[in-house]
Amino acid sequence: MHRFIVVGGGAGGLELATRLGDRYGETRAKRGRPTASVTLVDRNPTHIWKPLLHEVAAGSMDPFTQELEYAAQARWHGFEFQQGELVGIDRAARRITLGVVNDEDGAELLPERVLDYDTLVLAIGSTTHFFGVPGAAENSIALDTVGQAERFRKKLIAACMRAEHQAPEPVTRDHEGKEEPRVQVAIVGAGATGVELSAELRNTAQVLSAYGLHKLDPSHDVGIVLIESGPRILPALPERVSSATTELLEKLGVRILSGERVTEVAPGVVRTASGKAVRADLTVWAAGIKAPQILSELDGLTVNRLGQLIVRRTLQTELDDNVFALGDCAACEWPGNERGVPPRAQAAHQEASFLFRSMGMRLEGRPLPEFTYRDFGSLVSLGHFSAVGNLMGGLIGGSMLIEGLFARFMYMSLYRLHIAALHGYARMVLDTVAHWLRRTTLPRVKLH
């Protein structure tokens, strides 16, 4: 039997393993003999869709209600799950090594293991890029994992509670002479993640106050400042999306500092190249991504300057026909576009669907097709009732700006499509209804 191994059960990898397991593995629905073995490897036991992490950080999403157990998904969809971190590849022997897994107390839970493959798909995503800015890694929080998002949320609540009970300090003023808020969150990087977080946090400050967790005035005492080195926010999106978003953020009271390159993050302060010192009780770093370090250390596979594996348009790595890569960890050409395929959930999803089809051809020994990314536009969520974005489509022959509730609905449907890819449409509908019902008995923001 052909042995597929998918490493990384994120937006792309989990969809691919699920579909391969459904097609080739042994499932309860289809009792016939499996025609290939499919193994998914992830360092964590559970999956959460990464674009939800800013909502987790703001407390508007409880991660424990959205997590999916890999072991259960494997049982339902005919694949095997192995928990462990990829630490090495022996390409000649077609073998990967997974590191030891320890429990919370540091005791060994699973030993180092070796797994053999015929086809290996690497889908291990990306991590935050601090660009070597002094103090950034030590003094700011990144949003790569549920643990980091939860840590930020708890620190924010603690900062608000502390500020309420501390004797008011003499009023401090920012570089423009404006009175500074009692608690200030600085977000470095005004790409989609930074922008979405800033809007979500506005809502959080209000809800925390409504539930009595602090008695600060949420719009006056809790400040959010978004710092961007480029001339405008959302630099990767069309200018009109950026200006519509700027207007909405300003209405929400988010302060935007564009054209300000951060040169240092120290405890309590973010410094910029123009000499500004922005007071920050909490700093979030959302200024860029790079691929995990391990990819640069693997048995001769080639990487670009961000450490992403360079893949051909078949998504095979440059040097090895048996090793594929998808999602944020892969650098794939996008014909007609200077940049490669962007690091987005949309791209990871398309690549997973593409690889699912091309794996069938590989098993039949047919030549592999080439991947072409189709940009359907980008949507940026601005809290509970709004989103902004551009929809691109063959139908309208260009790009269309969308805003408000409709945009929000489209944004939410992206996650619903991911759920449908994992569980099918019937379960996605049930999950959506269950989610709405659950929300009626929960506060709008996680309080502890």
Ligand X SMILES: Cc1cc2nc3c(=O)[nH]c(=O)nc-3n(C[C@H](O)[C@H](O)[C@H](O)COP(=O)(O)OP(=O)(O)OC[C@H]3O[C@@H](n4cnc5c(N)ncnc54)[C@H](O)[C@@H]3O)c2cc1C
Residues making contact with ligand X (CB under 6 A): 7-13, 41-44, 47, 50-51, 53-54, 85-86, 123-125, 143, 192-193, 292, 294, 327-329, 343-346, 348
Q: Which CB sits closer to ligand X, 307 or 327?
A: 327
Q: Which CB sits closer to ligand X, 222 or 329?
A: 329
Q: Which CB sits closer to ligand X, 131 or 211?
A: 131
> Environment class of residue 437 by beta-carbon count within 10 Å: exposed (0-12), middle (13-18) or buried (19+)?
exposed
Q: What are the structure tokens assigned to 218, written together?
A: 């949420």
Query: 155-190: b or e for each residue (b if 16 or more CB lie within 10 Å)?
Result: ebbebbbebbeeeeeeeeebeeeeebbbbbbbbbbb
Nearest CA-CA partner of 36 in 27, 28, 44, 45: 27
Cβ atoms 444, 60 nearer than 8 A: yes
Residue 286 Cβ vs ligand X, minimum distance, rounded to whole Å: 7
Give residue for tokens 């594996």.
Answer: 309
Residue 123 Cβ vs ligand X, minimum distance, rounded to whole Å: 5
Q: Which CB sits closer to ligand X, 147 or 398?
A: 147
Residue 386 Cβ vs ligand X, minimum distance, rounded to whole Å: 14
Nearest CA-CA partner of 114 in 87, 80, 92: 87
| E strand or H helix that includes residue 52 | none
Between helices 239-252 and 192-210, what is the axis angle to 10°? 20
Residue 74 Cβ vs ligand X, minimum distance, rounded to whole Å: 14
Q: Which CB sits closer to ligand X, 25 or 292?
A: 292
Nearest CA-CA partner of 137 in 34, 347, 288, 330: 288
Residue number with the shortest CB distance to ligand X? 10
Residue 136 Cβ vs ligand X, minimum distance, rounded to whole Å: 16
- Helix ranges (H only) for 293-381 are 345-363
Q: Which CB sits closer to ligand X, 279 or 384?
A: 384
Q: Which CB sits closer to ligand X, 8 or 340?
A: 8
Report which residue type is found at 74: A
Q: Which CB sits closer to ligand X, 85 or 116?
A: 85
Residue 345 Cβ vs ligand X, minimum distance, rounded to whole Å: 4
- Helix ranges (H only) for 288-389 are 345-363
Residue 57 Cβ vs ligand X, minimum distance, rounded to whole Å: 7
List the beta bridge partners of residue 113. Answer: 98
Residue 361 Cβ vs ligand X, minimum distance, rounded to whole Å: 22
DSSP E strands in 79-217: the ranges are 80-83, 86-90, 95-98, 101-102, 108-110, 113-116, 119-122, 127-128, 141-142, 183-188
Sorted by sequence, the CB contacts under 8 Å of residue 108 that are 6+ apart come out as 100, 101, 102
Q: Phi-psi bin for 84: left (phi > 0), alpha (psi -120 to 50), beta? A: left
Q: Which CB sits closer to ligand X, 15 or 174?
A: 15
Residue 390 Cβ vs ligand X, minimum distance, rounded to whole Å: 13
